[in-house]
A = this chain, B = another copy of it.
Amino acid sequence: MSDRNISKQTIRRIPIYLQHLKDLKIKNMTIISAPSVAAELKLNEVQVRKDFAAMSTTHGKPKTGFIINELIINMESFAGYNNTNEAILVGAGSLGKALLSYKGFEIYGLDIVAAFDIDSRLTGTEISGKVIFPLTEINEISNKYNIKIGIITVPANEAQKVCDVLVCSGIMAIWNFAPVHLTVPADILVQNENMAASLAMLSKHLREHIEGK
């Protein structure tokens, strides 16, 4: 099942589907049709149908729809929410601190176990119960706990350097919050969380709106 070809965009829609399907389950519903989900989430009908077909182990039934429980289980498995993923975070500046103290990642199976920073005034201190270590200990700690996810929250000009260290210490996936392109070996995933890009979209819209009047 895991090697079915599911598009990136479908994977990205999983959290939104799950949100909705779990709501339905709480209301004691057991079956749901793709068109009704599409209407509720304001998505295209065919898109939802295709997404469901791609991720459901059994076929949907014409005229009735898909089994909610099964969709939930399959989607959670595709998104990997059922296995806990431990991560380390590099860069305990204001964004790093924010992520360390954010509780919301738990429901997605992410657990940040340690943080690292170059600033010796920060190392040794704790944020939300997570100790900040010096950068030099990345290798030791990530190996000890067999960490596979690295979160980068350092300034843009440090990001590649940190990225290289993470890759060397066996990290397989990087969540990058710095607004730079990171170069990594082919089997490592870089997932960019580009807030600067979102801000650019927001202010472009505002500029056009104001000029348009």
Contact = CB atoms under 8 A, between A and B. Distances in A.
Contact of A197 (B12, B95, B200): B12
A81 B180 contact: no
Contacts of A199: 15, 79, 105, 108-110, 175
Nearest to A16: B179
Given A98-B99, A157-B23, A207-B2, A202 B149 contact: yes
A28 to B, nearest CB: 17
Interface stretch (A115-123, A135-143, A188-196): A188-196
B19 A201 contact: no
A85 B189 contact: no
B16 A204 contact: no
Given A202-B175, A204-B80, A94 B103 contact: yes
A63 interface: no
A204 B202 CA distance: 29
B2 A211 contact: yes
Nearest to A77: B207
A43 to B, nearest CB: 7
